[in-house]
Structure 1
Amino acid sequence: MPPRIPSLLVPKPTTLTTPPSSSLLLSACRAFTTTTPVQGKHSSKQKLDQLLAKAPPYPYPIKTTFKQSWFGLYASKHVQFGNNIPDKKYTITRRRWYPNIKHKKLWSFGLGEWVTCKLATSVLRTIDKVGGLDNYLLSEKPARLKELGPWGWELRYRLQTSKTVQRKYNEERLKMGLITKEKMVTENVKLGVAQGVQEALPTYKQRRLKRQDIPKGFAERWKKSGQVKKVLFGEPWRARRYVGRERGSEQRAKTEAESARVRRAEAVVARQKLANQERKKIEKEERKREEEEHLLKLAEAQAARRGGAPTPSPAATEPANSTVS
């Protein structure tokens, strides 16, 4: 708030002079202030309007209840509200759950640069599954377009208008028979991406990149992430095992192979159990026979000490009785 202007310095209107304009009063007020004028901040709505002015109209409704999702790949994630209810005392307190958002730099082959973006961990997993940021943005599925949001929609339009993607679209039109080869070469020359069909080079190869900045393939990154023993803070997706990456036939084949392995293991266990039972039965019979032989030897030794004939064991008398009968 500017300081108060002394009444002597403010010109008073008279019949001979016209009243001072508002610009003169503002200039007089500004002369007695020591602070510089602060430029007003743009609201989220103004930033959104500036963002969508660079791209075609967004085809889906935009939620106004979670404005930070306008400027990132949130995949329709939204803040959730609820209550904290402790176990001992029934004291309810309000709370909220925010989505798991990461700040990442992802390589774009179409734009030929690193794109810094805010995205949910589920979007990061989907980007790894589809093979990169470009494949995620260029998908034609309605659900994917709805997940992009305003910021992703503008980034998708910027990627579609890049020279590399335009050359790719021309090749697809040529395969579909919509344009001729000569027309495609002419359009590529106008775009400045190629002088012919075979000489077309991606944009990222036209820049000299450092070794650590060269983008790696998914297989190489996955192999390297498997060697990381300690998971880095803020990057739990490196150690997460991706589920459901196989197609239906691959999943069925994997399930059948697993069930066959289980059946083979159960058969081996059953054979081992039967063999153990047979072995125990044989060992029991051998112990019984050894005990009988030991008792017979003891009886013979006792009879020899007494000087009489040894008394036959019951097992030895059974065949004799059977022959007499």
Structure 2
Amino acid sequence: MAGLRPTAAATARCLFARQTATPRTFSTTAAAARQTPTHLKVDREAVPDYPYGEFRWYKQRNSGLYGTAKIRYGNTVSQPRQIKTRTQWRPNRHTKRLWSPSLGMFIRTRLTAHVLKTIDRLGGIDAYLLGTKARRIKELGPAGWRLRWKVMQSPAVQERWAREREALGLPPKDSSAAALEEIAALEGAPSAEDMREIDAMLERGDEFVIGEEVVVEERFMAEEPASAVEEAREAAQEVLDEVKQEGEVKRKTP
């Protein structure tokens, strides 16, 4: 067995070999790209505020189309011994790329199986996002609200709405300055000439009359002297006294 023992020279060579540093390989491969959900690419400053605010429970719904889905809690009961075990059921969430004909691109978002079934029934994600009922707006959440605004700004949706306005007999929607001035005039807003006249009145210190001027008759609620009031009171008191006297005379006569 003595021949199997390591010699001192072999032990020294092993120690020396362990101390030598080996060069480490360096990789320049970039990290795998991760696609960003479409609702995060929408400018938040341009989108109106979501009317119902962010969800306070199950906050994952703020970053996808979850509808009304939440985590459900309950118990599982074993059949032989009726033992209860606390458990939870999470929503059946998926990540999908759905084609939007209005935008001409794929919309990548997280959504539940129930919402995906609703989208298939309606015929596409555009029809789901453009729903007008309050329940649909509540189901969209903040992420769906931003996607809805993005779809509404597309030229295809704007043209469709213009055709609907024409079919209903409404004037075309124009965002030019002339149209805005016309709308302001219809709503009773002051025009440029009115503003110049108001500025001139402020410089002169004139009084402003708000509303229509009411014409009051000269004798309406006119103040009368105190002597006339006293005379009227005395005349009324005399009439009352005469009526009382006549009543007493009638009672005394048989």
Provide the TM-score with structure 2 as the length reference. Answer: 0.48
Question: RCO (CA 8 Å, sep 6+): is it higher in 1 or 2?
Answer: 2
Q: TM-score, normalised by structure 1?
A: 0.38
